[in-house]
Amino acid sequence: MRGIEAHRDGDLAAAAAAYKDVLAATPGDVDATHYLGMIAYQRGDLTRAVGMLGEAVKARPDDSAILANLGLVLYSAGRTRGAASALERSLQIRPDQPEALINLALTRNAQDNVDAAADCYRRVMELTPGRRDARLALGQLLVAARRYPAAREVLDAGLALDPADYDLQLARAQVLELEGSLDEAVAVYERIAAESDSLRCRALTRTAAALRKAGRPAAGLMAARSAAWSDPDNYAAHHQIGQALKELGWLEPAAEAFRRSHALFRHPGVTTTPDLPTFTRTSRAKLRHDVEQIDYLTSHELGEANLAEMQDDYRKVMATIPEDIPDGKTVLLPAPIRQRFAPFYNRCHHYRDTPALEIPALNPELDRAAIQADYERRAPGITWVDGLLIPEALRALRDFCLESTIWYDFEHSNGYAGAYLQEGFNCPLLVQVAEELPRAFPRIFGDHVLMQMWAYKYDSQLAGIDMHADFAAVNVNFWITPSDANLDPDSGGLVLWDKEAPADWGIDDYNTYDPQRQQDIRDYLESKQAQRVVVPHRQNRCVIFNSDLFHKTDDIRFADRYEDRRINITLLYGTREQDTRGRRR
């Protein structure tokens, strides 16, 4: 077939024309329909691709290749149930398809079915024993699922075949690290750094992380700096430098290191990390946010000249997401779109210069003694403050959040976008605010240092965050969206309960949105007769509370404009194991 040759050569236009000619001469030709469906997939038109491949399967239901391709396309479209069904039918017909098995593994993993995904990788290893990528993927899957003994078994079997495989050694050391055998993990990382030129920087970066976990941030800082010296352009090394400096309480230099890491990782045109989910997946809510932000920037004559062209691409991709996919559900970008998007999707195209002020950013008229007394009176620690920032600081932070294209986090079913301290949400003014708060309220913050800072920007059409507690000692949450954007003045803020998460609950118990865990939290609060505290949204209102308290975003009903999206800024100080003076509990 003439189209197959053109398709193989990458000439999609010629291939499509040839396949259409076949269909004109022979309506319903299955092969032409199949190949046109794959061209639609390669062009990013998932809806058309699903439709054409579905027609081909109806006409030839026992064709394993068509079923396998339909499974791939459905997985890319986020339709994991249909993808799994198509791939399994294909493998029943022809079991010896390693690529179909890998796609099925990815699909099952997306469904949180780790056992089924692991079984697929094992079948690939049986079919092609030399495929170390499948063994490594299986090991990483089990590590991510916290099945450390099973991960050890898989990785050890691979190392028995090739003891010099440094990638497997590195993954094996990560298991040690995650199991808490930090000294052993550091020893392996350091040996890999000494023996493998290609993995030296990565191994030193993991050394830094393990040393920080062991409570040795100064040693971690030295390892991270060694990693950066070995590869000055490695974003992860600078990230670890920032983490260690932050834990040492040196916030300003930590922010500088994070800015360096952010610039290396998110700079437009950089395509050295194309396979990470942040660059390969998207959602309708994420694309809608980006389109609105680009609209805002271009209308204010801000940002790069090619923003309007990017906006058109985003709209085209948004139109390819099937209508039955929820707005907040992530889908895989088709490979050709990933390649085209790689230089600019989820990268920093505009970063508003937001320096620290020469005067205090906190409102000097705040009654600091009364605020601290109110926090202590509302045991175990809740208070809220109106007029937190001076007008100049509030305006600058609002402009920073509206303009800066740093909203990379979209992995939330509720569709909100997130920006974090480590990736751009660290302008000097934010650092100034983070440093002023503990000085203003020493009885609340004690010796706690800032551990995390983020902002969430909500979609007016979607819900907020459900009940949870945070992994810190003190939580600061304030809002910067104008009050008149909130269409329900009695809501839109925060709901808290006056009972702490049990001390023996882990982070997967108190900071998760699994329906069963949410029910466990509700049952616990009811058993403790916890009282709700509702703090409605107001611009420049700040809630300060014990991070162990369960809380959730109140109902959201904001005006449907980009400028009216609800934006909250959160700062976390200390760790859950520390008391109010920063000491270990």
Residue pLDDT, tens place only, 216-258: 999 999 999 999 999 999 999 999 999 999 999 999 999 999 9
Residue 471 is given by DSSP the state: S
Q: What is the mean pLDDT of residues 397-424?
A: 94
For residue 142, is pLDDT > 70? yes
Q: What is the mean pLDDT of residues 151-167?
A: 93
Q: What is the mean pLDDT of residues 252-267?
A: 96
Contacts 24+ apart (CB under 8 A), 201-207: 201/227, 201/230, 201/231, 201/234, 201/236, 201/237, 202/170, 202/227, 202/236, 203/170, 204/230, 204/237, 205/234, 205/236, 205/237, 205/240, 206/170, 206/173, 206/174, 206/177
Q: What is the mean pLDDT of the chain?
A: 91
Coil, strand or helix: which one is 473? coil
Percentage above 70 pLDDT, the chain: 95
Tell me the fold of 2-208: 1.25.40
Query: pLDDT tier at 561 (50, 70, 90 boundaries)?
Result: very high
Query: pLDDT tier at 12 (50, 70, 90 boundaries)?
Result: low
- Amino acid 530: pLDDT: 87
Residue 561 is given by DSSP the state: S
- Amino acid 134: pLDDT: 93
Query: pLDDT tier at 129 (50, 70, 90 boundaries)?
Result: confident
For residue 16, is pLDDT > 60? yes
- Amino acid 579: pLDDT: 47
Angle at which helices 98-110 and 132-144 pack, to 10 degrees?
Answer: 10
Q: What is the mean pLDDT of residues 103-114?
A: 93
Read off the amino acid at residue 297. Answer: L
- Amino acid 523: pLDDT: 85
Superfamily of domain 368-573: q2cbj1_9rhob like domain (2.60.120.620)
d(CA 89, CA 91): 5
Burial, 164: exposed, middle or buried (Cβ in 10 Å; 0-12, 13-18, 19+)?
exposed
Residue 43 is given by DSSP the state: T
d(CA 341, CA 540): 37
Give the predicted TM-score (pTM) of the model: 0.87
- Amino acid 585: pLDDT: 35
Could you report the per-residue pLDDT of 51-97, keeping only the tens digit for each? 999 999 999 999 999 999 999 999 988 889 999 999 999 999 999 99
Higher pLDDT, 344 or 396: 396
Which residues, 6 or more positions from 345, have their beta carbon under 8 angstroms from its beta carbon? 279, 282, 333
For residue 317, is pLDDT > 70? yes
> Which tokens hold the place of 100?
């179909």
Domain boundaries, the chain: 2-208, 277-341, 368-573
- Amino acid 269: pLDDT: 84
